[in-house]
Amino acid sequence: MSDYDLVIAGGTVVTPAEMFIADVGVKDGKVAAIGFNLRGLRSIDANGLLVMPGGIDSHCHIEQLQEGGGADEETFITGSTAALAGGTTSVVTFSTQFKGGGILQPLADYWRRAEQAMVDYTFHQIITDATDAVIFDEIPQVAAAGIRSLKVFLTYDPLHLDDRQFIRVLAAARRNKMLVTVHCENYEAINWRTAALLADGRTAPKYHAWARPAMIEREATHRAIALAEMVDQPIQVFHVSCPEVAEEIARAKARGLKVWGETCPQYFVLSADHMDRPGFEGAKFMCSPAPRDAAASEGLWTCIRDGVLDIVSSDHSGWSYETPAGKRVNGVDAPFRDIPNGVPGLGSRLAIMFDQAVSKGRMDACAFVRLIATNPAKLFGLYPRKGTIAPGTDADIVLWDPTKSVTLTNALAQHIIDYTPYEGMDVTGWPVMTIRRGQVVMQDGRVQAEPGSGQFLAREPYDLIKPTGNVPNGFDASAFLV
Ligand code: DUC
Ligand code: ZN
Ligand code: ZN
């Protein structure tokens, strides 16, 4: 008799806390038991493999709506394919707002697109125009729909918010039990340096990094933290590029503030030098904040070990290199200012980080699991349904061969973007099977899942993002609709 629909037999189960050899029994899409000699209708031999929670990519841009119509090239189907190929089973993507418009209509349009997903999904709601209607009327409806995180940009035309608008978003999040995620770079400083660089004829992709040095990321991070402290609103600083910025988060954490930090694979394996390739080639590596240097990359490991940075997400962002609407939308001679930012990395996030973290001996597989699955689940209100392997959790599992060496190529990434910035990089450790809610959806690189088989992950209010209760003078200004 079979007690389980599926048994993953004899692998090394990796949880955020420990590693042990056991069988995992799956029933009705959930982990039902961890033990020995479990019997299932189907059994998968995981001997010699790591059995880890499916990755959660809590920051990726998939089919994001564009102003004037249309959407990013990466669709929910192609993005899901890349995710599942790379061992990621859940994503958090972005519903956006266009200045002068509301958030509910684009959210409805975006949600319809997301229903094609083959991974489980939820959204961050981007706020680019903090009008009374958005702040007092629409954000409460977004929260009620189960979307518990907002995203704001402190730079980028036409997305950026000024401090007053940012404070209003923080207060709205506090009232509606949401987390605020922040893109921290100083808008005016970037514009000023950009103008000077262009005036000096320095237009090539490498000057992208010159326009946005680390201190302008640090300044915005400091400001975001100070304003969040004033409102008593938890925040997560997105895509921290270097230790100098992470120091601001470390100081906030040391003072007991609810501030968390995310970084991305590109800040470990790319540097500003990549943007100095001949001709237009450097555009392939342009993202914001800009990758720094080898010392900064190495320093990020200390930030992770010290618990200052909590998450590694991809910030997957799709602009093909050869297509007219991609990186070269303004021509191959466009100044760096006019080249779209972002690098693809949804499918390669786990492989790069496993190689860097575990295969290169910087940390064990439990710590890796925390970075790519458990902490994203906890910080975005998906835990314990997602992010670990234990009885009652969704059976989102990646079987991982820790000894398999692979040279990364764009074809292996399985996204729609026509290049990967990681082309030719050697990694050790590779996903051989992905299981989503008990169903095998990737085996040996072949993704097999029905469009629309991903589920929307509605998020209830959760304890981690409760305010601390400390506001200046004991006066909670967020209670007033100003
Ligand atoms: N930076 C972002 O903030 N978003 C997408 C791409 C990028 O480089
Ligand atoms: Zn950003
Ligand atoms: Zn982003």
Ligand 1, atom 5, lies closest to the CA of 342
User: Looking at residue 255, what is its pLDDT?
Assistant: 96
What is the torsion angle, in degrees rounded to the nearest 10, for the CA atoms of residue 93, residue 70, residue 168 and residue 341?
A: 70
Instruction: Express each pLDDT in 165-181 by its tens digit.
Output: 999 999 999 999 999 99
CA dist 479 and 139 (Å) reads 15
118 within 8 A of 75, measured Cβ to Cβ: no
What is the torsion angle, in degrees rounded to the nearest 10, for the CA atoms of residue 63, residue 65, residue 69 and residue 70?
A: -10
How remote is the CA of residue 314 from the centroid of ligand 3, in Å?
8
Q: Is 243 in the pocket of ligand 1 (CB under 6 A)?
A: no
Residue segments in the chain with a per-residue pLDDT below the cut of 70: 1
How remote is the CA of residue 327 from the centroid of ligand 1, in Å?
13
How remote is the CA of residue 183 from the centroid of ligand 1, in Å?
8
Instruction: Express each pLDDT in 322-338 by its tens digit.
Output: 999 999 999 999 999 99
User: Looking at residue 169, what is its pLDDT?
Assistant: 98
Instruction: Express each pLDDT in 263-286 by its tens digit.
Output: 999 999 999 999 999 999 999 999
How remote is the CA of residue 214 from the centroid of ligand 2, in Å?
15
User: Looking at residue 2, what is its pLDDT?
Assistant: 86
Residue 422 CB-density burial (10 A; 0-12 exposed, 13-18 middle, 19+ buried)? buried
**Three-state secondary structure string covering 215-268:** HHHHHHHHHHHHHHHHHCCCEEECCCCCHHHHHHHHHHHHCCCCEEEEECCHHH
CA dist 272 and 79 (Å) reads 27
User: Looking at residue 268, what is its pLDDT?
Assistant: 98
CA dist 177 and 166 (Å) reads 16
CA torsion sign for 425, 428, 432, 435 is negative
Distances (CA, A) of 298 to 162, 208, 255, 271, 346: 33, 22, 25, 12, 22
Q: Return the amino acid letter for 76.
A: F
How remote is the CA of residue 241 from the centroid of ligand 1, in Å?
12
Q: Is 315 in the pocket of ligand 1 (CB under 6 A)?
A: yes
131 within 8 A of 101, measured Cβ to Cβ: no
How remote is the CA of residue 105 from the centroid of ligand 2, in Å?
22
Instruction: Express each pLDDT in 246-257 by its tens digit.
Output: 999 999 999 999
User: Looking at residue 318, what is its pLDDT?
Assistant: 80
Q: Is 262 in the pocket of ligand 1 (CB under 6 A)?
A: no
Distances (CA, A) of 263 to 68, 203, 236, 425, 446: 31, 27, 11, 20, 29
Closest-CA residue to 152 (of 133, 132, 135, 175): 135
Ligand 1, atom 3, lies closest to the CA of 288
Q: Is 439 in the pocket of ligand 1 (CB under 6 A)?
A: no
Q: Is 208 in the pocket of ligand 1 (CB under 6 A)?
A: no
Q: Is 156 in the pocket of ligand 1 (CB under 6 A)?
A: no
Q: Which two tokens stand for residue 341?
A: 């930012």
User: Looking at residue 183, what is its pLDDT?
Assistant: 98
**Three-state secondary structure string covering 129-185:** CCCHHHHHHHHHHHHHCCCCEEEEECCCCCCCCCHHHHHHHHHHHHHHCCEEEEECC
Q: What residues have a C-beta under 5 A from ligand 3, the ion?
A: 315
Closest-CA residue to 309 (of 274, 268, 278): 268
Q: Which two tokens stand for residue 398?
A: 């990646």
